[in-house]
Amino acid sequence: MVRRATAWLPVAACALMAITPVLAAEESPPEGGLASDTTTEPCLDPPGSLDPGAEQSPFDDLAEEPPGSLPDPSSESLVLEPPPDKPYWRTNIFKRILHDQAFLVTKWWPSEFTRLSFTGPLVATTYVATRSSDDEHPTDFTFEQRIDTRTGKRADSVANVFTELGNGAPACAALGISYLLARHSGNDRLAEASSVSFEALVSTGIWVEVIKEVTARQRPVQDSHGEFFQYGKPETSSFPSGHSMGAFTVATVFAHVYSDKKWMPWVAYGSAAAVAWSRVALGRHFPSDVIAGAILGNSMGRMALARDGREGPLSPKNLQPIFDPKNKGLGVGYSYRW
């Protein structure tokens, strides 16, 4: 309620400025108005007067309003300045998403692939994924099987919860509700984070489907090693993980918008990592799928932040794949300094 009242203060100030000349004119008698005594000096009548010798009436001066008594409606005192342009996150969401696709193709992706901190982890993860079907002891397949066999029913129940949270439709609905509540309560920062996250998440959903159709990698079902380019076969939408990509997209936006909150990156990226882990624990993705999704999701989040006029705080160098040759383990690491 305080923000609403504050929002009306500029309007009240403008109205007060507009009526100030009127109030000032009413407080001081206009020039040539009623005098203290009734004696008036003779004055020349204007040409064409009906009675040149008639005595001047004290009310004659009121027939015409003296200059400056009332402001001209077209004067600058009554012309309100147009409101400032809306911030980016309050503009039309559909136009933003449409323009994002052209921005991604013409500017963002060409710039990202020239950055070693982005291409290095992504190429390394993709290489591990492609070698999964060739090696005698495929790291990607072995790691997935190890997680799958070590998770019991209780772990699967937790994994199902995080998987549901990472679904596209519930995530978009949650962001929409968050945006409306933030606007209603006047919380512009939460509204901005929700709006930009929604924009980035929709773009992520478009591109993850395109990449999946191109790569056509089999999911880890029926002891599949995750072969690529299996067109026309079932369960060929494994690379990258859409849940992981979407979760890290939203996490990147919130981690930056709330960068002054030192706990936010841990909560945001911890939740995204839990969603990514759930996909491997449930046997729906290989580890390389979720790592690639995390890298691409971070990039998509930074893209939306750049469109919003913000510089993405978490470059891909903060998210790096980790390989343990001794235990043949594969994972993703996140570094943060404060």
Neighbour tally for 209: CB within 10 Å: 12
Shared domain check, 80 and 96: no
Q: Are residues 71 and 95 in the same domain?
A: no
Strand partners, 324: 329
For residue 312, is it within any domain? Answer: yes
Can you tell me the distance from the alpha carbon of 174 to that of 273, in angstroms, rounded to the nearest whole number? 19
- The reply to whether omega before 240 is within 30° of 0 (cis) is yes
Give the list of residues 6+ apart from residue 153 with CB closer than 8 angstroms, or none. Answer: none
Question: Do residue 97 and residue 170 come from a single domain?
Answer: yes
Question: Is it the case that residue 315 has pLDDT exceeding 50?
Answer: no
For residue 38, being part of any structural domain is answered with no
pLDDT at 324: 59
Q: Is residue 298 part of a domain?
A: yes
> What average pLDDT does range 245-274 have in this prediction?
95
The total domain count for the chain is: 2
Same-domain check for residues 162 and 193: yes
Q: What is the mean pLDDT of the chain?
A: 77
- Within this chain, do residues 177 and 206 fall inside the same structural domain, yes or no? yes
Domain boundary among 84, 106, 126: 84
pTM of the shown model: 0.68
Domain that holds residue 294: 91-334
pLDDT in tens, 113-162: 999 999 999 999 999 998 887 767 688 888 888 887 777 778 888 888 99
Q: Is residue 32 part of a domain?
A: no
Answer yes or no: do 73 and 146 share one domain.
Answer: no
pLDDT digits (tens, 9 = 90+) for 201-257: 999 999 999 999 999 999 998 778 889 999 988 888 999 999 999 999 999 999 999
pLDDT in tens, 56-74: 555 455 445 555 454 554 4
